[in-house]
């Protein structure tokens, strides 16, 4: 179905929400007629279909919400509101069913990933078109709210547990829809309206494919996908052994406790990426040691220039190796490769600044900055030293990526900032 060639009526521009409603009416009707929703209404939808729906939607929402929230387009920022986020509800619902549906189904997940890719391309090519996707998914709250009792009845749910995404705004639904409509209707440029209309059509086409894959499910197509850890992780390997997955997550927790800076800067979204990256790292021992080290070196470079000095990867690999060895002791020799990669990073770092000099610089920094007793700044001096080392080792931009954020974060006083620069200067001269 092609978008309308004109958004004018009697020579005037139609309100955007009127145009979208008229031009997507058939898509609404077609979507509701799919077998998935017929089974849901009859309370005969299989649980696997429902939960794989939640998992696929979590991929789409995570990408869409991140692109909208980070967009610099002035019109997008006027329409977007943090209250529109739905990923948190999807995560609650997925967690509720986690023990009962442990794996994902490939076909709907791939459809969801394809739609997420379209959203990311739109964010780059024509940011205002993101609002077409937003319209479709915000509009789905109307139908979801109507189907919430069906979900509860279908799976004998207590209250809104397991269907928080469907319940969404609850009794405030009409008010929320009105506020969203008012913000959308400020868009009265015909070219912008057509861009939004086109992406709304693309969203409906993607959803039709997605829901057709959800019922009936191909039972032979189940597998473990990284989205169970992080909906934004895309497509990369994950261990098949549940013990390895749990070990990877424990190692991620340990590293975040070792460096509270992670949470300060990257928040919960960063933790999801840390978890999914660790699941991928747990698969690397399949490689030869030389090839594994090359992968680690590449990832260290990428992360260091984003504000994560390589000492963080060094610690993480050590935690990961030992958690895996503890969880699956019969494969300890296999996981030793990760420990060796960690030791290689440590050896490279200490060849420029050894542990005694690092400790002295760190203690002087903590004393001068007055942060020795503040748990938020645990190992902050070590990070700064590591950033200097990374810079010297051929990772340009590492130091500025860390220092600039620290200075701009308002966590440090003038004396604290002076302590940062004093440490950097001293480390650079060693």
Q: What is the pLDDT of residues 308-362, one digit of tens each?
A: 999 999 999 999 999 999 999 999 999 999 999 999 999 999 999 999 999 999 9
Distance CA 285, CA 274 (A): 18
- Over range 118-131, report the average pLDDT: 96
Distance CA 367, CA 208 (A): 60
Tokens of 260: 């509270």
The predicted model scores a pTM of 0.66
- The tens digit of pLDDT for each residue in 348-390 reads 999 999 999 999 999 999 999 999 889 999 999 999 999 999 9
DSSP helix/strand/coil, 26? helix
Residue 55 has pLDDT above 50, yes or no: yes
Q: What is the pLDDT of residue 104?
A: 82
Nearest to residue 89, comparing CAs of 151, 163, 38, 21?
163
Interhelix angle 106-125/47-70, nearest 10 degrees? 10
Q: What percent of the chain has pLDDT above 70? A: 94
What is the full DSSP assignment across 253-286? HHHHHH-THHHHHHHHHHHHHHHHHHHHHTTGGG
Tokens of 313: 């990867």
Peptide bond into 216 cis (omega under 30): yes
Q: What is the pLDDT of residue 9?
A: 57
- The tens digit of pLDDT for each residue in 12-48 reads 789 999 999 999 999 999 999 999 999 999 999 999 9
pLDDT interval class at 179 (50, 70, 90): very high
Distance (Å) of CA 126 to CA 13, 121, 139, 200, 235: 21, 8, 21, 13, 24
Q: Which residue's entry shows tokens 């868009």? A: 187
Distance CA 262, CA 203 (A): 34
Q: Which residues contact 209 (CB under 8 A, 6 or more apart)?
A: 111, 114
Distance CA 319, CA 1 (A): 53
- Between 232 and 162, the higher pLDDT residue: 162
Q: Angle at CA 78, nearest 5°, toward 231 and 208? A: 45
- Between 223 and 273, the higher pLDDT residue: 273
- The tens digit of pLDDT for each residue in 276-293 reads 899 999 999 999 999 999
Distance (Å) of CA 290 to CA 127, 182, 319: 42, 58, 20
Query: Mean pLDDT for the chain?
Result: 91
Which range is least confidently modeled, 95-99, 215-219, 296-300?
Answer: 95-99
pLDDT interval class at 101 (50, 70, 90): low
Q: Is 197 within 8 Å of 132 (Cβ atoms)?
A: yes
- HSE-up of 174 (CA within 13 Å, CB side)? 1
Residue 10 has pLDDT above 90, yes or no: no
């Amino acid at each position: 179905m092609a978008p309308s060639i004109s958004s004018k009526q009697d020579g005037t521009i139609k309100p955007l929400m009127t145009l979208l409603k008229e031009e997507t009416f058939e898509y609404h009707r077609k979507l509701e007629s799919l077998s998935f929703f017929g089974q849901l209404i009859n309370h005969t939808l299989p649980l696997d279909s429902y939960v794989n729906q939640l998992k696929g939607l979590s991929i789409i929402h995570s990408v869409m919400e991140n692109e909208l929230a980070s967009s610099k387009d002035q019109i997008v920022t006027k329409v977007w509101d943090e209250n529109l986020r739905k990923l948190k509800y999807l995560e609650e619902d997925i967690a509720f069913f986690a023990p009962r549906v442990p794996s994902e189904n490939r076909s709907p997940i791939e459809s969801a990933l394809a739609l997420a890719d379209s959203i990311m391309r739109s964010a780059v090519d024509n940011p205002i078109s993101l609002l077409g996707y937003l319209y479709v998914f915000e509009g789905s709250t109307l139908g979801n709210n109507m189907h919430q009792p069906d979900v509860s009845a279908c799976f004998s749910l207590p209250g809104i547990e397991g269907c928080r995404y469907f319940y969404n705004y609850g009794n405030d639904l009409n008010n929320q829809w009105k506020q969203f409509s008012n913000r959308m209707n400020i868009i009265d440029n015909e070219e912008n309206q057509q861009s939004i209309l086109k992406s709304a059509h693309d969203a409906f086409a993607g959803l039709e494919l997605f829901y057709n894959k959800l019922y009936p499910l191909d039972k032979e197509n189940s597998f473990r996908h990284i989205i169970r850890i992080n909906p934004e992780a895309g497509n990369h390997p994950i261990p098949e052994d549940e013990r390895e997955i749990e070990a990877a997550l424990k190692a991620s927790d340990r590293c975040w406790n070792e460096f509270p800076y992670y949470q300060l800067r990257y928040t919960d979204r960063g933790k999801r990426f840390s978890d999914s990256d660790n699941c991928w790292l747990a698969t690397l021992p399949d490689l030869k040691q030389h090839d594994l080290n090359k992968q680690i070196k590449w990832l260290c470079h990428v992360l260091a220039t984003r504000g994560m000095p390589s000492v963080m990867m060094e610690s993480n690999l050590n935690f990961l190796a030992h958690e895996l060895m503890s969880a699956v002791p019969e494969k300890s020799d296999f996981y030793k490769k990760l420990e060796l990669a960690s030791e290689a990073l440590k050896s490279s770092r200490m060849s420029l600044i050894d542990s005694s000099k690092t400790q002295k610089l760190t203690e002087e920094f903590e004393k001068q900055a007055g942060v020795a007793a503040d748990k938020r700044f645990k190992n902050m001096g070590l990070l700064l030293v590591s950033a200097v080392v990374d810079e010297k080792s051929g990772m340009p931009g590492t130091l500025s990526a860390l220092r600039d954020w620290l200075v701009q974060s308002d966590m440090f006083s003038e004396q604290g900032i002076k302590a940062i620069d004093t440490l950097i200067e001293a480390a650079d001269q060693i």
